[in-house]
Amino acid sequence: MDRDDRGPAPNHERAEMEGRAIPAPSQIGEALWRGRLRMGLSLDDVARRAGTDLQTVSAIEDSDFGRMPGVSKTIAAARAYARVVKLPEKWVALTLAAELARIAISSLPIT
């Protein structure tokens, strides 16, 4: 299912007030999704044009870090996605790398 078929984005403020943890929204996933919609492309179109698989493209767009294939492949796929939807590749790569680092650091045990 394409992201544009899904309901509204989660309400992070409300979740925080209710004590529920939900991941922070991904700047890259949102930017790539908007770029794809702007160009009238499906996820399949992007995957084909970017030369990567549908699962990786979907995981990046959804910010589903658990489904991403690994840092190097994910960043390479995100750069290719950015080329397809005409977003700055360097910004996409650096911002995604920062998001992945933030997730990795937040999962470290506190001692």
Of the chain, the percentage scoring pLDDT greater than 90 comes to 46
Give the Cα separation of 32 and 22 in Å (integer).
21
Answer whether residue 109 shows pLDDT above 70.
Answer: yes
Answer whether residue 29 shows pLDDT above 80.
Answer: yes
Cβ partners under 8 Å of residue 88, min gap 6: 82
Residue 4 vs residues 11, 16, 53, 58, 104: alpha-carbon distances, Å: 17, 25, 19, 12, 28
Please write the tens of the pLDDT for every residue from 31-83: 999 999 999 999 999 999 999 999 999 999 988 878 888 889 999 999 999 99
The whole-chain average pLDDT of the chain stands at: 80
pLDDT value for 75: 94
Q: Would you state the structure tokens that stand for residue 33, as one six-digit string?
A: 């999704």
